[in-house]
Every structure is written in structure tokens, then in C-alpha cells.
Amino acid sequence: PGSGSFRRAYLILCFFAVVLVLAFAGTNWDNPGSGSGLAAAGPTGDGATDWADSPDSSGDLAALEAVLAAAEKGEERERAPAKPAVSRAEDGPEEEGDLERPPPPTKTTAAPKAAKKKKKVAPKASPSDALDFTQPQHVCPGSPTTKSLGQGAPRQNKEVLYRILEKLGDGEVPETTTDMKLIKSGNFGFTKIECPFLTRDCASEKTYTGRQAAQKMKQTGAKWNETAQNFVDLKPGSLGSCALIGNSENMLKYNFGAAIDAHDTVIRHNTPIGKYARHVGKKATIVWVKGTYKGGGSASASMAYLLPKNVDELPKNFKKNGKPILIRGIGAKPLDKTKRLLYYLQGANLRRKHPTGGYSRPLNIIASKLCTRVDLYGFGSRNSSGKYFKKSAKVRPAHMMSFEHWTFRFMMSKGKLCVYGE
């Protein structure tokens, strides 16, 4: 049978056929009054027996109900739409009594946020506690450099370099800068630097520096003593706390101006200040004159001008802009030789590499003992750096800026000076 209705009708017809056969088979043809003939199929009075009550027909009725029930179930199965296969991997284990699961919530994609514009970072300002420079040298107020001592460190002769640098912090230089075998062995002594600057005391003929200066001027005795009175009268420690200002463009990263001006003495080049004052300060106690810098705004020295000249090249009145002139003394010569020795020990070919002029200036200031402390600003560590007032004026390849900066940081680690900026 092709459909449920046809099957059901077919089963019913089959059932009635069976009933008829049984009815005829069970009729007592010999006793027509027994009531078991066809007439007994209907009501016959009080003693009439219905098919439902007849013990002989009860089993047949149950069979009919079972057949009909099976037919109905088969029909329902045909009518019911086929269920899609359930993926266990997607829906997970089925539990008894689970209700139909709601569809998973759809994820909504948030609209992309507009890119935030980078705010221009202001240079770091000097906190108020960074202005106290009355503290001892081993204390570096404010924000000194945090650059690692591993950067720019020497590749060879380390112990010898460590020893020389520590002694330079005390104002001493090696007794020899030419005997390389002795120097590399480490078995050499040191000597105190005398008069890196020609002050009034150093101009005395009692000192080697004074005698050399008098000879240069071709003067002796009273005449020289009179000339010596023109030099700045500076004693050890008389400059107090000193800030030595370099020209590196790293100055623009910080607002060091207030901290610099908080020092007793500010030593700077004749470089522009003007619009850079918040980075480099305004104060100028001693101005180190070096060539001519464009840009204007250079501060006037309140105490003295430091000139790169010999004593016999100075003006007759020994003044510049009405202020005394300070020059380097003969004691600066050993420092010049020592800085070249440091380059050599680092492995530099001195025919191709040589120290910057600014490398010896902190060493001169430290050796002079004129300052109670020395703080460096604007000394760069990269050859790619320019000057704060002219970024295109890059450092020459002949200089080893990373090594020079490392030597200052090493001396800082020994409490000999403080370095600000990188």
C-alpha cells in the first residue's frame, strides 16, 4: 500500500473478513436456536450478548485496536516532517528534559574607534626637589641620566680605564701617557694636576704655571705680580655648586632651565639662549667663548669670560666686555694628553679618532677644585646628535660620543660628578 489511508482501509476489510469467517465457522448449524447465528450480532433482549462482552470476541477486538493504533502511528510518522540531523559537536551532550535551545546571540561588531591623535609630549620639568644643589656630589638631585653603564663601555683595558677615570675624579692624571707597556700593566703612578686655570693664586711665581705664564709675558718680579692682579681671584670651592652646560640637542627633551639656574655658578658657551631658556637656563656666571654662534641671545658673563688663548694673546687690560678673563693654565696640558690616552685604551686609532673639545672641559673643572660639585647638562651620547640651536650641526664621525658619555657616567657612579640628559 502506498498511503496510510489505503493501508487502514485494507486492514479494516481484512479484519471484518476474519470476523465473518469465524462467525460462520462457530455457527451451530445443528442447533439453530442457540443464538450464535447472524441474528445474535444485534441486541436480542435481556440475555443478548454484545461483541464487546463476548468472551470469544474480546481478543479479536483488542487485536483490532492494536492494528488501528499501529496504522495511526504509521500515518503520523509519514505526515511528520523529517528532523534535521543534530550535530553533537555543535549542540553538546543532550540531557533529559532539555527544552529547545534558543539560537545563540549574534555578535555585533563594534564600530571601529577613530584613531586618537598623539599628544605632543611636553619636555620633562624639573621638580622642586631637584633644585637643591647644596647636597654632596654623590647625591644627584632631580632626574639624572639612567643610561646603563653597559652602553658605550670599553671593550678592552677595562681595569686600567676604571683606575684612570676614578683618579681623574680626584684631580689626578697618570705619570706617563707614552709608556704603553707600563700603562697596560697597571703598574703606574698618578700626579696631582696643578692649576688647570690661570687664577690669581696660580699666577704666582711660586707655581710652575705662574712661572711659565710670566716667561710667556716676558715679565718677572714686581712687574709680573702687578700683571697677576688682573686675573680672577678664585679659591678652591669658591664657585660653589657648578652647572656645566653643553650644546647637545638632547637639552630640548627636558625643561632643565630652572635646575641649571639654581646652581651657584653656571658655566656655558657663548651659545643662543633666548627661546631656549626653559631648556638651558638663563644664568651665565662664566661664558666659555668658542667661535661665533648664530642665533643671538647669548647671555653675558656675570663673573668672567673663559677664552681659548695664551696669556700673551690677551688684551692689555685683561678684560672682555668689562669682565676679567680666565684662561687655561699649563696644568690643562696633562688633561689633554690623558683624554687621548683614554681613546687609545678603548681601542681607537688616534689617526682617525680624537676626543671632542668638550670632553676635557668637565675634567678641567673637576681638577681645578673650584667647585663644590659639578653637574653636566647637554653632553650627548650619540654621533647623530646636533646642537640644540642647530640640529643639522651633527657631531663629526672622528669623535666617539658613546664612549665619552660612558666615562662621565662611570665617574658619576663613583660620586665624582652628576650627568643630566643623554
What pLDDT does 131 receive?
Answer: 84
From residue 4, alpha-carbon distances to 11, 68, 395 in Å are 11, 11, 101
The secondary structure of the chain in percent helix, strand, coil, rounded to multiples of 5, reads 35, 10, 50
Q: Rounded to two decimals, what is the model's pTM?
A: 0.69
What pLDDT does 89 receive?
Answer: 39
What pLDDT does 43 receive?
Answer: 40
pLDDT tens digits along 289-344: 987 665 556 778 999 999 988 999 999 999 999 999 999 998 899 999 999 999 99
For the chain, which residues score pLDDT lower than 50?
Answer: 1, 27-64, 67-68, 71, 75-102, 125, 128
What pLDDT does 383 receive?
Answer: 87
pLDDT tens digits along 362-374: 999 999 999 999 9
What pLDDT does 148 receive?
Answer: 93
**Residue 137 grid coordinates:** 656630589
**Residue 376 DSSP code:** E
Count the Cβ atoms, other than its own, within 10 Å of residue 254: 21
CA 411 and chain centroid, separation: 25
- DSSP track, 394-415: PPPTTS-HHHHHHHHHHHHHTT
What pLDDT does 17 receive?
Answer: 72
Q: How far apart are CA 230 and CA 203, in angstroms?
A: 10
What pLDDT does 18 receive?
Answer: 64
What pLDDT does 99 receive?
Answer: 37
